[in-house]
Chain A
Amino acid sequence: MADHARGAATSHRVELMLQELESLPTLSPVAVRLLELTADDEAESRDVIDLVASDPALASKVLAMCRCHERGRADNVTTVDRAVLLLGFEAVRCAVLSVQVFDLIDGLPGAKRTGESVFDRELFMLHSLACAVMSEEIVKAGTGARAIRPSEAFMAGLLHDIGQLVLHVILPESFDQVCRFAETHGASLDHACRQIIGLDTHTAGKRLAEHWGLPAPLVDVIWLNGQPTAALPRVPHRTLISVVTLADAIVRRRYVNAGAHWTGGESLSALCVPVGITMDAVDNATASLHDRVSQRATALGLAEEHDPIILLRSICRANESLARANAGMRQRERVAQQQATMLKELTRFHDTLPVGLTNLEALARIAGSIASLLDAPVVATLYQGRADNWHLVRLTTQGRVVGSVTLEPPADAIGFDVLAREVTVTADVDTLMPWLSDYLPTGTDLAPMHMLPLPAGAHATAIFLLLGTPDGDLLRGNRDGLVRCWQAALAAAAQHDRTAHLTEELAVANRTLMETQEALAHSRTLSSIGEVAAGAAHEMNNPLTVICGRSQLLAQRIQDPEQRKMAEEVSTQSHRLSDMITALRSFAEPVEPVLIEADIPELVFRVVQRYGPPDGRQPQLNTILTESLPAARLDPDLVGAALGELIRNAVESKGCEHIELRVQTDRLDDRLRLEVRDDGEGLTEHALQHAFDPFFSARPAGRQPGLGLSRARRFVEAHGGQLTLVNGPAGGAVATIWLREWRVSEPRERDAA
């Protein structure tokens, strides 16, 4: 789009210039008339001859020209008539036209501009004249250009670069710029013209020639000269164009180069071919070039200075050009040297970069690279870590990390991202982050420090603090490659850091998973016990049924009371065995508590009645209800059974004399706490670990099979509660049921109850 806009602006400007060309004055009536006349119509040329003769100034110039033109043959040409007679109408016509054209341009406003201009008019005129003479000589000497009249070749050579003159006249400043550009960059004038003005000299010249109604061969020469022969379009005057191109090349290389342009192009010998001239002939023609040119210049009134002086000026010009070219080359060499330094550093940095750098290592390496490239030590690096904290990493001059601290920037500090994004490469630390001195060693002066931000994506941005003013060129100019490399290293380190962090998180997750799996395995163990029990239940219950039934039948039939009691005992024990199978079986099933509103004191009373020791016997059980508890929402059967198991456990514990049952709500989180504390021996480590395993018993024998605590825990956990068993501080064991969300939440239910 920008190209489009620029293109449009350029073409608009070109159009304006062309209009200005159109508005230039046209040729005088004499010239116009001359152009109208064909060479072979001598009779009608009478008017023109009279016209020229009637203008003494014009007549004298024309005569002078004619004399120079045909020196030796026409020395005695004194009148226009005679000139026409001796030289032919065509020669006279050319002379008139030449004089007219240059007079006209001389008469243009701005043509005689004062002040320094890169474009040297006189040199240009000299060049044009030399070209004209050379063209004429070529036509005379060449075999391929016989059809062309020498005077026509002269004319063409004289006017071939008129475009330059025109642009110089109408756009003096721009054209100066063009000349300078072409010289500094070693570009062709036309290329420079197109770049800066948007219109080249040949096109401008062509337009002017058309405006003036110059003959078609001249227009073509002005338009197409300088182009390689092979590139010329199929115009009728190709040979003439080639002649002028050759003449121009010869003059540029051997005589005078005007317009400050050098078009390398084809070699002279190559240019000779289409014209049909040998290099020897060219050399011959060149030999007398100086004299002829000065004669012609005099005839045209151009040679105000002597030829050697003009040559001297030409040499001076060439020297100036050379100096400018040298300066350009020096500049380029400097850039190339910088690039080489950059490239060397890039290679070194890249080659020594190991995989898997940590953030700090990467920062240190980049700092080293920056320091060696810019010749300014990096004292510290600001770094934005994973958690958006700022870190300050201090470095030694050798690029070693001294230490890293987390920064706490003041509230009004400029945001890190803003700094990293918008700060210029050599911004002052002093003005942007004065608070930073708090984190640097006492006495550190921020004033000589400068910042070099290196943004490398989210959570991978660093700002390097340099001591001293770095070479601005190195930073501003061609640092892209190296900076990208630094950025890549920083980003990679950040990525590595993130990966490491993720790995840590993964490890934590794995640990949690392992613990969960252990818990699951435990509950699976219980479940599989249940599964086994379920399968066994059927198998075991049938023999039990037989034992039980038979023993009962037996008991009915036995008369002896003692024997009958034995039979009855068989039956009782088989029932117990069956109950155990049932209990075991229940591990395979989820416990689904039926939550109802229950009175806690009543529940506790019932449990103590059922599981507690009979009154007056050891151990003693004290029940403490510390407060008046509201009704609770729970399954009284399950909670009762669980509490009963705890009491039974305490009663059976060795050395127990007193049991305390305490029911209260926890002050911290309002959990309901049912605590059974005994003064027995407490539990061993092993017992604590396995207390909730089915069938575990701390005592080797003489204890009821222990499904108790295991079941109790299931019942409590079914309520979303917890059952804990620990050794009390004063000895003995403390078993506690904790229930959450036990309160009857909705008042309406309480009312209904």
Chain B
Amino acid sequence: MGKNNGTTSWAAKQVFTTGEAAEVCNVSQQTIIRCFDSGRLQGFRVPGSRFRRIPRAELLRFMKSNEIPTDALESQTKRVLVVDDDEQIVELFEDLLGSDERFEIKTAATGYDAGLLTEQFKPHLILLDFMLPDINGNLVCERIKANPDLQDTKVLIISGVVSQDEMSKLTQSGADGFMKKPFDIEKLVMNMEELLQLA
């Protein structure tokens, strides 16, 4: 896991205490407790105690529905998942993007790993190779796009394939962008910035 530069590290936190939630939302702890007890903010109590705990997703929902800026919760670094079965290429991506402070990189070598990591890591962007050893990139892409929890996740397919047939499959799978291997690294970064609205 990449290091978080800021004073708080809410970005990686999955469960919040009422105090933490109050800080994130910039309201008093009492307000959070009231909302929790009235059911407007849902969570659970720690087994064997009365301590309230709020899951990250529910906190986000609460903040959005009450128009509380989520900036504090969202970190400024963008989580990027690189999926490619070629080790050299994965290393190239790590070299290229790892030095860029705006990105937090994780990598997967198969479609299966990609799925697991997507659930866990909640990447903002997936750089997806089309030809994977288990399932093809377009299927991975379709699954991600079909999941409502991941609707903010962008997919950029990077592939060596060129046939019209495969191209149409890729666009149908709902990918947000496409880059052909080999690629110009500057163009790649520009594409990523565009998709992540960093520019």
Binding site for B on A (CB under 8 A): 534, 537-538, 540-550, 552-553, 556, 571, 574-575, 578, 582, 585-586, 588-589
Contact = CB atoms under 8 A, between A and B. Distances in A.
Interface stretch (B26-34, B104-112, B155-163): B155-163
Contacts of A542: 86, 88-89, 160, 181
Contacts of A546: 86, 88-89, 92
Nearest to A575: B182
Nearest to A533: B162
B67 interface: no
A547 B86 CA distance: 13
Contacts of A574: 182
Contacts of B183: 545, 548-549
A556 B182 CA distance: 17
7 pairs of A and B residues whose beta carbons are closest in the complex: A541-B160, A548-B182, A545-B182, A545-B181, A549-B92, A546-B88, A541-B181
A545 B161 contact: no
B170 to A, nearest CB: 14
A498 B154 CA distance: 74
Contacts of A534: 163
Given A538-B131, A542-B89, A553-B95, A585 B162 contact: yes
B92 A550 contact: yes
Interface of B: 86, 88-89, 92, 95-96, 131, 160-165, 180-186
A506 B83 CA distance: 60
B164 to A, nearest CB: 7
Contacts of B185: 549, 552-553, 556
A589 B92 contact: no
A537 B181 CA distance: 10
A435 to B, nearest CB: 71
A537 B92 contact: no
A543 B87 CA distance: 11
Given A534-B163, A585-B163, A589-B164, A545 B131 contact: no
A538 B186 CA distance: 22
A37 B168 CA distance: 130
B182 A537 contact: no
* Interface core residue of A534, A540, A541, A574 (most chain B CB under 10 Å): A541
9 contacts: A537-B160, A538-B160, A542-B86, A542-B181, A545-B181, A546-B86, A546-B92, A548-B183, A552-B185
A538 B182 contact: no
Contacts of A571: 184
B89 to A, nearest CB: 6
Given A552-B185, A574-B182, A578-B182, A545 B160 contact: yes
Given A540-B160, A541-B160, A556-B185, 19 more contacts: A537-B160, A538-B131, A538-B161, A541-B181, A541-B182, A543-B88, A544-B181, A545-B182, A546-B86, A546-B88, A546-B92, A549-B89, A549-B182, A550-B92, A552-B186, A585-B162, A588-B163, A589-B163, A589-B165
B190 to A, nearest CB: 13
A588 B161 CA distance: 13
A553 B96 contact: yes
A582 B162 contact: yes
A545 B89 contact: yes
A550 B93 CA distance: 10
Contacts of B89: 542, 545-546, 549
